[in-house]
Amino acid sequence: MSLLEIDSVTLKFGGLTAVNNLSMKVEEGQVFALVGPNGAGKSTVFNLISRFYTPVSGSITFDGKDVLKLAPHDVPQLGIARTFQNIELFHQATVLQNLLVGRHRHRQTNMISQMLHLPSVRAEERAHRHAVEEVIDLLDLQPYRNSRIAGLPYGVRKVVELGRALASKPRLLLLDEPASGLSVEETQNMRWWIDDIRRHMKITVLMVEHDMGLVSKVCDRVLALADGAKLAEGTPAEVQSHPSVIEAYLGTNAVSKGGKVA
Amino acid sequence: MKFHFKTDYDQDIRMFPDWWNFSLYAALLVLALCLPLLIDPFFLGEATNVLIWATAGLGLMLLTGQTGQVSLGHSAFMALGCYSCVLMMEANVPFLAAFLLAGVITGIVGALIAIPALKLHGVYLAIATLALAILADDIIVLLKEWTDGVNGKMSPPIDLFGYEISRWNNPVEWYYLTLAVVLMVTLFYRNLLRAPLGRAFAAVRDSEISAQAMGVNVAQTKTIAFGISCAITGLGGALMGLFAGAFNNETFNFLLSIQLLMMIVVGGLGFIHGAFLGAVVIAFLPQVLSMTTDLFGRGVAIPGLESGVFGVILILFILFEPMGLYGRWLKIRTFLELFPFARKDMFKRQKSYLKTERLR
Ligand SMILES: Nc1ncnc2c1ncn2[C@@H]1O[C@H](COP(=O)(O)OP(=O)(O)OP(=O)(O)O)[C@@H](O)[C@H]1O
Ligand SMILES: [Mg+2]
């Protein structure tokens, strides 16, 4: 059994078929990439897994459990964490508080004991802090620990969002364009982190990424999507040289994306 | 400038980050405790009034400042807190039990009302809750068997463990009672902010989408916030009615909701300090206004002047100082601490994405 199984899923927005009869399997321990031109439906696949959208047909299972039966806020409970393409942080809160929200699924105390700040609450807070501090060390976020998100540069926010997802100690991490808008060095860092996340933290990664350089360095498996349907699937090299993938890019977005496929 | 050197996690978890901070609030507490020795009974009454406003304001602050949900219906919950407390006292429930139960009742009713109301967002929620406030006025009149409608009720004397506390004979005891309530509420409030629930409030305020993606049940969190908020505001309402000596439907009309909202915006949304600063403004503004009209108009009463001035102040703050008085103080403090290195754009708001674009 694969960790994540998407089976013939279709989603329509009015007349537009955003995801068209898509099937894919992500195995435990893999780093899996979804690629495709703009508007292909990659983010929509993430939003389906997060239960923000409900497909017209098909099934999604995680570790054998039916994801489609869950409410959006129950999905993280399975051990699925994600980032967003347009960065969705809690911008009035500090970096530390953002990362601590990542621990939400591990909370154990109730409202009354929290109001009274009972010893159990303090012990729990210490444990959360410890887990978050590990993430801060991994991602070198020490200088920003108590900064509010609203004043941070874009590159740092991207890392904080990754950190918030990691703080929840997920089994599956969904990264929507982790390197978009990052500088060369920042992209390099992102590459090491994804390697670390897979090797040392044993987290399976499903990512959307346009930067084929990064994809071929960190991913074992790639699925190319166009107009919501699967074009090709295989190793990065196989997918990059697949005729229909080349056609999809060169035919529609030759100027903007052509260079990246080759 | 002060540097915080972190040596263990508790420094962030503790109520006060360092000794300096602790001493500051300890001094403030001592000042509050000694206040009756320092000022005469009239001003002590004003101080009590400020603390009552602060209690009610903390309730709305939790909802609007922490969770990002605007309510213009909180006058209704002040009324509910007040009437339920007084009715229980009239039924010979001991004051302390009646008072705390009134908070619990208001909290539960608030949470029940929140379940449908919180499906609305932003300005729609504000309008719906405003309707509730206007409705409450009529309901009080309709239920005149219990509420004595427009004639109103006399506040019964407070009997606390055998000591009678009346506003006119025991202003000092009244002050201490209010101080105890506001301290309790502030303590609970502060504790929530450093716990998972408080962070869930902030998460819902800043991004419902990613709150969900982190496992926060948005509807439930909002409902809890509304419930706690109403409970606190209900306690404030009970104190206000008891302190006033007599109250009727007019005491809790919808303008009170607007004053409450103005108070927390002016004080500084999202800060406990903001509720207190706002309370000072709201409690003393009428006095300042009547003093100025006396000075210029020789006793000519201008109808609606007070509400008008409140409205103008609210708009000015929203336009020019959205972080309120407390935000202004933070800026001044940072400026002084960093002098001469402060940058002009340090507190600039960042542009955020349009909601419709967020998921793509
Ligand atoms: N909420 C929505 N309502 C209507 N249409 C939508 C919605 N979300 C996405 N779409 C449409 O569905 C299609 C797929 O969008 P999606 O965001 O999944 O693309 P993508 O592959 O992530 O593209 P990009 O590389 O630009 O991020 C697009 O045509 C988009 O306009
Ligand atoms: Mg996308």
pLDDT > 70 fraction of chain A, expressed in percent and rounded: 95
- Asked whether residue B265 is domain-assigned, the answer is yes
Query: What is the rounded distance in angstroms from the CA atom of residue A35 to the CA atom of residue A52?
Result: 21
pLDDT at residue number A42? 95
pLDDT at residue number B297? 64
Task: Show which of residues 124-143 on chain A sit within 8 Å of chain B, judged by CB atoms.
Answer: 124-126, 128-130, 133
User: Residue A240 contacts by C-beta under 8 Å, 6 or more apart in sequence?
Assistant: A212, A216, A222, A261, A262
pLDDT tens digits along B206-222: 999 999 999 999 999 99
- Asked whether residue B333 is domain-assigned, the answer is yes
- Asked whether residue B225 is domain-assigned, the answer is yes
pTM score: 0.89
CA of A34 to the centre of ligand 2 (A): 10
pLDDT at residue number B351? 41
Look at phi and psi of residue A33 and say left if phi exceeds 0, alpha if psi is from -120 to 50, else beta. beta
pLDDT at residue number B301? 65
pLDDT at residue number B163? 81
pLDDT at residue number A127? 94
pLDDT at residue number B147? 86
What CATH code is carried by the domain that includes residue B174?
1.10.3470
- Asked whether residue B67 is domain-assigned, the answer is yes
- Structural domain of residue B181, as residue ranges? 38-345
pLDDT at residue number B355? 43
More confident residue, B146 or A106: A106
Query: Which tokens belong to B152?
Result: 């109103």
- The minimal CB distance from A73 to the residues B198, B217, B270 is found for B217
Shortest-distance ligand to the CA of residue A210: 1
pLDDT at residue number A260? 44
- Asked whether residue B227 is domain-assigned, the answer is yes
SS (H, E, C) chain B: CCCCCCCCCHHHHCCCCCHHHHHHHHHHHHHHHHHHHHCCHHHHHHHHHHHHHHHHHHHHHHHHHHCCCCCCCHHHHHHHHHHHHHHHHHCCCCHHHHHHHHHHHHHHHHHHHHHHHCCCCHHHHHHHHHHHHHHHHHHHHHCHHHHCHHHCEECCCEEECCEEECCCCCHHHHHHHHHHHHHHHHHHHHHHHCCHHHHHHHHHHHCHHHHHHCCCCHHHHHHHHHHHHHHHHHHHHHHHHHHHCEECHHHHCHHHHHHHHHHHHHHCCCCHHHHHHHHHHHHHHHHHHHHHHHHHHCCCCCCCHHHHHHHHHHHHHHHHCCCHHHHHHHHHHHHHHHCCCCCHHHHCCCCCCCHHHCCC
Q: Which residues of chain B have pLDDT under 70?
A: 1-8, 297-302, 338-360
Domain count, chain B: 1
The domain made up of A4-79+170-256 has a fold known as Rossmann fold (3.40.50)
Mutate to test the pocket of ligand 1, among A16, A34, A84 (most ligand atoms within 8 A of CB): A16
Using a CB-CB distance cutoff of 8 angstroms, which residues of chain B are in contact with residue A129? 9, 12-13
Overall average pLDDT of the A91-115 stretch: 94
Q: How does the average pLDDT of chain A come out, rounded?
A: 91
Where do the domains of chain A lie? 4-79+170-256, 87-153
pLDDT at residue number A79? 96
Report the pocket of ligand 1 as residue ranges, CB < 6 Å.
A 13, 16, 18, 36, 38-44, 85; B 359-360
- Asked whether residue B18 is domain-assigned, the answer is no
pLDDT tens digits along A120-138: 999 999 999 999 999 999 9
ipTM: 0.90
A150 pLDDT higher than 50:
yes
Pair A191, A133: CB distance under 8 Å: no
- Asked whether residue B95 is domain-assigned, the answer is yes
pLDDT tens digits along A66-76: 999 999 999 99
